[in-house]
Amino acid sequence: MAGNDPTVERLNAEIAACDREIESAQADLDHISSGRSAYQSEIQNINYRIDDLKRQIDQEYEAVRICSAAHNRYDADNHRMRAQDFKKELTRQFELKRSAIAKTRGDGGSFQAALDRKRSAIERKKRAKEQLFARFDELKREKEQKQAKWKEKRCRDCGKNFKYNTEWSKVPDLCPDCQKKAKDKWREKPCKGCGNPIRYNTDWEHIPNYCADCKAKRKK
Ligand SMILES: [Zn+2]
Ligand SMILES: [Zn+2]
Contact between 67 and 81 under an 8 Å Cβ cutoff? The reply is: no
Which CATH number characterizes residue 24's domain?
A: 1.10.287
Do 194 and 209 belong to one domain? yes
Contact between 135 and 5 under an 8 Å Cβ cutoff? The reply is: yes
Which residue range is the domain that position 192 belongs to? Answer: 185-220
Query: Does 206 have pLDDT greater than 90?
Result: yes
Q: pLDDT-based confidence at 160, cuts 50/70/90?
A: very high
Which residues line ion ligand 2, judged by CB < 5 Å?
191, 193-194, 211, 214
Do 126 and 199 belong to one domain? no
Do 214 and 171 belong to one domain? no
> Residue range 3-11: average pLDDT?
90
CB neighbours of residue 191 within 10 Å: 17
Domain end call among 99, 129, 148:
148
Do 55 and 74 belong to one domain? yes
CA of 179 to the centre of ligand 2 (A): 29
List the helix and strand counts (H, then E) for the chain. 4, 4
Query: Does 219 have pLDDT greater than 90?
Result: no
Amino acid at the residue 32: I
Percent of the chain, pLDDT > 90? 86
pLDDT score at 218: 83
Domain count within the chain: 3
Spatial separation of the C-alpha atoms in residues 100 and 46, rounded to whole Å:
10
Domain end call among 126, 148, 170:
148
pLDDT score at 6: 95
Q: What pLDDT, in 10s, does the model give residues 76-88? A: 999 999 999 999 9
Global confidence as pTM: 0.56
- Judged by DSSP in three states, 167 sits in coil
Query: Does 129 have pLDDT greater than 80?
Result: yes
Spatial separation of the C-alpha atoms in residues 202 and 103, rounded to whole Å:
99
> Residue range 12-29: average pLDDT?
97
pLDDT score at 177: 96
3-state class percentages of the chain: helix first, strand second, coil last, to nearest 5: 75, 10, 20
pLDDT score at 197: 95
pLDDT score at 92: 98
Do 32 and 137 belong to one domain? yes
CA of 208 to the centre of ligand 1 (A): 28
CA of 147 to the centre of ligand 2 (A): 50
Do 110 and 164 belong to one domain? no
Which residues line ion ligand 1, judged by CB < 5 Å?
155, 157-158, 175, 178
Q: pLDDT-based confidence at 3, cuts 50/70/90?
A: low
Q: pLDDT-based confidence at 48, cuts 50/70/90?
A: very high
Spatial separation of the C-alpha atoms in residues 146 and 168, rounded to whole Å:
13
Contact between 15 and 128 under an 8 Å Cβ cutoff? The reply is: yes
Spatial separation of the C-alpha atoms in residues 124 and 13, rounded to whole Å:
12
